[in-house]
Homo-oligomer: A and B are copies of this chain.
Amino acid sequence: MLQPEFQIPPLFAYFALFLWALSGAIVGMHKRYDLAGVFVIALLASTGGSTLRDGLFLQQKPPVLTDAWYIILTMLATIAVGFFRDRIARMTLVDRVINVIDALGVPAFAVIGMQLSLAAEVPLPGVVLIGMINGFGGGILRDLMVGDTPVALKPGTFYVSAAFLVCVLFVVLVAVLDVNNTVAAWSVIGLFVLVRLLSLRYDWRTQPILPPQ
């Protein structure tokens, strides 16, 4: 039923990690942190999700401990942000840049987490949960550490709901409909990016359960 051999290619996983690290470094730079502080925030963003996934849930050593590329790529992203600091500082819509990075980073990390959970024979509701934690964990830790409300939880943006739907879709495709793992992965990543960019472009918003006062 499962084809764990067809997975997100490692190069794409590293690319998503680099994007997350960039987002963390940009956030840290705007908080006026020094090089070390910016690196800490970048590392939280790039490795927080996988560390929560493995450390709290799957009970295995997180990849940041065993795969040196996690730290190296995060350092490179920190240096890159430092190098282009003036150009980044002049950008009027930094929030939007972070949003676009997250739009790709969330589904990429979510799919990686779900593929690992399926291989670890986690029950299907747990697979969706791991997908969400792997997808959002780094961004939430990044925002909490610098003292911001997590972007993912800001009331009204079409974000967590969209990710939840594509995570459920991925599990249904792979574990119920027996769709090829790679095809399902790219489909839900593409779908999430599309929905997320459209929702940012046209300001689609979900309704709070309780209407604003």
* Residues of A that sit less than 8 Å from B by CB: 29-38, 40-41, 51-52, 55-62, 64-66, 68, 71-72, 81-82, 85, 89, 122-123, 125-126, 129-130, 140, 144-147, 149-150, 153, 155-156, 159-161, 164, 206-210, 212
Contacts and interface: CB of A to CB of B under 8 A. Distances in A.
A32 B156 contact: yes
A155 B32 contact: yes
A207 to B, nearest CB: 6
A52 B153 CA distance: 21
Contacts of A59: 55, 59-61
A33 B153 contact: yes
B34 A156 contact: yes
Contacts of A38: 209
A33 B155 contact: yes
Contacts of A140: 145
Given A29-B209, A82-B209, A36 B126 contact: no
A34 B125 contact: no
Nearest to A35: B209
Closest A-B pairs by Cβ, 10 of them: A55-B56, A34-B206, A36-B161, A36-B160, A65-B126, A32-B208, A32-B155, A71-B125, A82-B209, A68-B125
A125 B41 CA distance: 17
